[in-house]
Amino acid sequence: MAAVIAQDPRIAVHRSTLADGRELIAFDDADTTLGEVRRIDERDLDPRPATAHMRQDVLTGDWISVASARQNRVFLPPAHLDPLAPQTPGNPSEIPGSYDVAVFENRSPSFGPALAGPDVSPLDLLDATRSIGLERSLPSVGRCEVVCFSPEHEGSFGTQTVSRARTVIEAWAHRTAELSALPGVQQVFPFENRGEAIGVTLGHPHGQIYAYPYVTPRTERLLDAIDAYGPTLMADNLARELDGPRVVLRGEHWSAYVPFAARWPVEVHLVPHRHVPDLAETTLAERDELASVYLRLLRGVDALYDTPTPYIAAWHQAPVHERRDDVRLTLQLTSPRRAADKLKFLAGSEAAMGAWIGDVAPEAAADALRAAIEGVQV
């Protein structure tokens, strides 16, 4: 299970609850201008929706959470009704007052708010999700959180300062550790969706964290690959990539590269040099460097074209209760943008069969991204 190696004493943490009982956690920048006093949420809110349920696809073993409450989520609101901005008399948003970085439980979650019983073995729960049977259904236990990178209405992670980026990284590490300790949670996934082309419904700079009650299909495939190759798979792959032509960014603790078999027109992996299973187990020095390295990468991606590039930034972390010495923390950034005015859509081969066809040679993509990164400043 994840264990925080260190917590940055420069970044203060404030806990409170929203009017319906959901948890709100504020993280202050090291150079914050905010005071200690925080406003209380005084809204009159409806009760939280019941925990969703998930159904197993018997042909694949995959679990699908059926969370009907998500149909009611806000869709591209104007700035004066931004639900992630600080509350005002005309905007009863989710966050009572000003903040630097704020994390709160999603009002319409795909998983949770219910958790597994504390007396049930985590490995027994894991075995239950890997069994196959007809019309199997389980509660969608777990937790979903929203991570607000800034109180501003527009932007993304890449538009933040180095200090703010460092605060968000500290929040990711903090939440990974705490969510990993919740009963029934098997994997913790921080991510950012950026751009309407990806399906973003809020322009406010934010990401999310899902705490799943099972090990996700993507990670199950990785575990199968490790079993077929051997426990050094991820270390050997990183060593080969760092010695090859697709490296786009290299630091003391982190490097980024376009993978040998990239699926997307823009696809980059950002990986720590030493084996780290998740963000909670990174050191303060690793988090410090990540703040600037990650910003350089994101700004390089935006420098590829004249307009911001839509992307999904996915932090793949090791399962909570198994294989932590095998699975290395990896940031996978992908974008469907294959030209300034063209997107890659998943058609028959990719969507139906999972058989991908690449539009751009990974070496050419690496050359373009490396040149773009060289021109950006952080």
Residue 180 sits in the same domain as residue 224: no
Do 306 and 204 share a structural domain? no
Residue at a domain's end among 213, 233, 268: 213
Residue at 238 is within a domain = yes
Which residue do the tokens 């019983």 mark? Answer: 117
Tens digit of each residue's pLDDT (9 = 90 or more) over 249-282: 999 999 999 999 999 999 999 999 999 999 999 9
- Placement of tokens 């859509």 in the chain: 345
Domain boundary among 176, 192, 213: 213
Asked, for residue 305, whether it belongs to a domain, the answer is yes
Tell me: do 271 and 164 sit in the same domain: no
CATH number for 354? 3.30.428.10
Q: Where are the alpha helices (DSSP H) in the chain?
A: 122-130, 162-180, 217-229, 233-242, 284-302, 353, 362-374
List 206, 275, 316, 321, catalytic entry: 206
Same domain, 153 and 284: no
- Does 4 score more than 70 pLDDT? no
What digits encode the pLDDT tens for the residues 203-246? Answer: 999 999 999 999 999 999 999 999 999 999 999 999 999 999 99
pLDDT score of 370 = 97
Same domain for 50 and 192, yes or no, is yes
Residues 199 and 242 in one domain: no
What local confidence, expressed as pLDDT, does residue 68 receive? 85
Whether 153 is catalytic is: no
Q: Of 213, 229, 252, which residue constitutes the final position of a domain?
A: 213
**257 and 358 fall within a common domain:** yes
Are 240 and 278 contained in the same domain? Answer: yes
Same domain? 140 vs 254: no
Q: In this structure, are 236 and 152 located in the same domain?
A: no
Distances in Å between the Cα of 331 and the Cα atoms of 84, 257, 272, 373 are 25, 11, 9, 17
23 belongs to a structural domain? yes
Are 89 and 228 in the same domain?
no
**Both 365 and 250 in a single domain?**
yes
Arithmetic mean of pLDDT, 326-355? 94
- Supply the pTM of this predicted model: 0.96
Tens digit of pLDDT for each residue in 61-73? 999 999 987 777 7
Residue 4 lies in a domain: no
Q: How many alpha carbons fall within 13 Å on the CB side of residue 298?
A: 25
Which residue range forms the structural domain that includes residue 246? 219-374
**Residue 295 is encoded by which pair of tokens?**
């910003």
The predicted pLDDT at position 1 comes to: 65
Alpha-carbon gap, residue 271 to 333, rounded angstroms: 11
Give the total number of structural domains in the chain. 2
Domain annotation covers residue 120: yes
